[in-house]
Amino acid sequence: MDSNKNNFPNNFNVDLSPFRDFIRHMDRFFDESFRQMNSHFDLKPFWINKYETETNIIIEAELPGYKKEQIQLEILGYQLRISVEDRTVIEGNHDDNNYYGKQQSYKRRERVVSLPFKIPKEQTKAKFRDEKLTISIPKNNNNRKFIDIQ
């Protein structure tokens, strides 16, 4: 049984262009919706820069508006998770209407950085200064092996 370029049998003559148009419109709808939602809720991830020196891998994260107490670092074997949380509670009494109001918001962002080796907790150092988190992870060069090319 031969099939044509659309992987349908030869005698299968159905116009799929309306279906493809519908799928394209749905994709466009959801892309636009989530793009607007991301800008409204500020769901963009924070900026990370990763580079290496002779002895360390340095990870820098820009965290404007956050304090040291809002940052959490977690080592998961070969991965480092950087999380930031922002909790806000606004309470108020409105005596003129005999009304009490309370608003709460919670926002959590995180980034995961993968490395080609297990991250040693004891030797990993982190500092937070001027809204910039800098993490220094020592490279373990003892297990590296080089192969001679003939």
Q: What is the CATH number of the domain that holds 138?
A: 2.60.40.790
Q: Which of 75-79, 89-93, 141-145 has the highest mean pLDDT?
A: 75-79
The encoded tokens of residue 41 equal 């809720």
Segment holding 39, helix H or strand E: helix 17-41
Q: pLDDT at position 4, please?
A: 46
Average pLDDT across the chain, whole number = 82
Residue 15 in domain: no
Residue 122 in domain: yes
Residue 70 in domain: yes
Whole-structure pTM value: 0.61
Residue 16 in domain: no
Q: How confident is the model at residue 2 (pLDDT cuts 50, 70, 90)?
A: very low
Residue 135 in domain: yes
pLDDT tops 90 at residue 139:
no
Q: Domain count of the chain?
A: 1
Residue 38 in domain: no
pLDDT tops 50 at residue 81:
yes
Residue 86 in domain: yes
For residue 90, the enclosing domain spans 45-142
What is the per-residue pLDDT across 9-41, written as a single tens digit (0 to 9) for each? 666 677 778 888 888 888 888 877 776 666 556
Q: Count Cβ neighbours within 10 Å for each residue of 48-78 and write b for 16 or more, e otherwise.
A: eeeeeeeebbebebebeebeeeebeeeeeee
Distance CA 54, CA 52 (A): 7
Q: pLDDT at position 61, please?
A: 94
Distance CA 124, CA 117 (A): 13
